[in-house]
Structure 1
């Protein structure tokens, strides 16, 4: 991936988050295919991460977090966000039969990639259960 992509990525990601917040505020339920959003994001971010790991190595992130106060703060922020999101998602995941430990390991190993995949799987299973329940009622 060209270096110029990495120059615009932070601002693009921030704009994407603002857009997502707007969509979530306007339409909190995206329907039975909502799982596609985190699934696609997980796949795209995985692709970006493969490129970064190929260029900077699998532990290249660690030096960034040791660089100074901001690096340490960002590391703590990422851990708090991943822990909070996982804690909020786990009850829903358990309710649809997902085993928590493999998903927690995926989040620990890959951060947002694992968390997005976990959210996608949970939303997919919830949608499938809802569809099956509606068919059973008929």
Structure 2
């Protein structure tokens, strides 16, 4: 994106196959290592949606992914009453984060938003590759 893409504003066309593959990879990596954001972004970012639509799409996608994971995590004893208590205690902090994110989304311009998201993907992907290789 930063080095090779000439027209950063150009929208890609929706592609059912690419979207399906990225969704499956996102679901799998989200279940295993909570790293489903990058595959999701690989499909969604080139579509150049309005920033609000992009964020909303990710919220809906990961809401459903997490709802699907919940019974599996309970069955695998990865989630229990203690973790639900921690979630309840941290719920106000999550709401504060949502409010801050909402305010930031309203004031940040679209081009800066996309550059910031791509930069974050580069950093997190580099970290994942580093962890894998080292």
Higher share in helix: 1
Scaled by the length of structure 1, the TM-score of the pair is: 0.31
User: Which of 1 and 2 has higher RCO (CA within 8 Å, sep 6+)?
Assistant: 1
